């Protein structure tokens, strides 16, 4: 029986997971998906994601893919996966993909959003999904500074140490859009780009917070993306970060 390449779109609450990637003896999103799909297939199945979200980070529309031989229709597969997965992970779309499709290598862009609650009192049911910062910030200065991240830059100052650093891979990334806005009590930072380094979005947000505190100027920000590269603001907590969407060209996707 020929193998089928399956593409799925999932949402998850990252609060109780140690990130996306499989880790020995720790709950992760990838390990839960592989447990469920392998059970349906009756054989080990590897599930590839569009990227690794860190511990505590959430996703509205993560994209993943795997290959199976089971002839189960896509709609039935979606139902079966949701029945077997923990309620903190939900599968919204399941579709056939080209056998060569890879959710990471075929991605052309990603959209992340960071959320900060600005009022004095944060509702307890929102608290797991927001960074509560009720202290004074110059939000106008932050809003004006956010677009400075746009374009192709070396973002090494915004990257956490990674096990792949020894490979000497480039830290240059292309940010398509970087905007900050206020909606009610929530300060929203939206950033879209070709790809992101480890903790990069949380460090971008942390740098904007330093701008809001008056500790960094626009000129200071420019030095963070040019040699000798300065020190970015402290990383903000993971719980306020969401992967909103992953973008693809249509060449390798079937309608």
Query: How would you label 40-79 residue by residue, b for 16+ Cβ within 10 Å and e otherwise?
Result: beeeebebebbbebbbbbbbebbbbbbbbebebeeeebbe
- Between helices 29-41 and 74-84, what is the axis angle to 10°? 120
Active site positions, annotated = 54
79 SS3 class:
helix
Residue 164: per-residue pLDDT = 67
Which pTM was predicted? 0.92
pLDDT at 102: 96
Domain with CATH 3.30.70.660 in the chain: 109-245
Span 4-105: which CATH code?
Answer: 3.30.70.580
**Residue 107, Cα to own-chain centre: how many angstroms?**
13
**What pLDDT score was predicted for residue 41?**
97
Distance from C-alpha of 19 to C-alpha of 27, rounded to nearest angstrom? 8
* Cα 18 to Cα 72: distance, rounded to the nearest angstrom: 30
| pLDDT per residue rounded down to tens, the chain (255 residues) | 679 999 999 999 999 999 999 999 999 999 999 999 999 999 999 999 999 999 999 999 999 999 999 999 999 999 999 999 999 999 999 999 999 999 999 999 999 999 999 999 999 999 999 999 999 999 999 999 999 999 999 999 999 877 666 666 888 999 999 999 999 999 999 999 999 999 999 999 999 999 999 999 888 888 898 888 888 888 999 999 999 999 997 543 433
CATH class of the domain defined by 109-245 = alpha beta
pLDDT of 167 reads 67
Quote the pLDDT of residue 252: 39
pLDDT digit string, tens, across residues 91-120: 999 999 999 999 999 999 999 999 999 999
Ranges of CATH 3.30.70.580 domains, the chain: 4-105
46, 78 Cβ separation under 8 angstroms: no
């Amino acid at each position: 029986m020929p193998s089928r390449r399956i593409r799925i779109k999932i949402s998850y609450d990252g609060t109780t997971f140690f990130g996306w990637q499989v880790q020995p003896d720790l709950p992760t999103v990838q390990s839960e998906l592989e447990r469920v799909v392998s059970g349906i297939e009756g054989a080990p199945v590897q599930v590839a994601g569009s990227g690794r979200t860190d511990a505590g980070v959430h996703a509205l529309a993560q994209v993943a893919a795997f290959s199976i031989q089971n002839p189960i229709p896509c709609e039935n597969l979606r139902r079966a996966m949701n029945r077997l997965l923990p309620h903190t992970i939900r599968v919204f779309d399941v579709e056939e993909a080209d056998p060569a499709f890879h959710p990471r290598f075929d991605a052309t862009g990603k959209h992340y959003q960071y959320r900060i609650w600005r009022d004095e009192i944060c509702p307890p049911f929102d608290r797991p999904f927001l960074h509560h910062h009720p202290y004074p910030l110059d939000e106008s200065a932050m809003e004006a500074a956010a677009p400075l991240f746009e374009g192709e830059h070396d973002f090494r100052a915004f990257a956490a140490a990674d096990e792949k650093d020894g490979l000497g891979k480039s830290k240059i990334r292309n940010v398509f859009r970087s905007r900050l806005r206020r909606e009610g009590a929530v300060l929203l930072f939206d950033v879209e780009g070709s790809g992101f380094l480890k903790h990069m979005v949380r460090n971008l947000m942390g740098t904007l917070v330093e701008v809001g505190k008056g500790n960094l100027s626009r000129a200071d920000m420019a030095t963070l993306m040019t040699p000798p590269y300065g020190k970015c603001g402290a990383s903000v907590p993971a719980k306020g970060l969401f992967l909103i969407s992953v973008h693809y060209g249509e060449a390798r996707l079937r309608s």
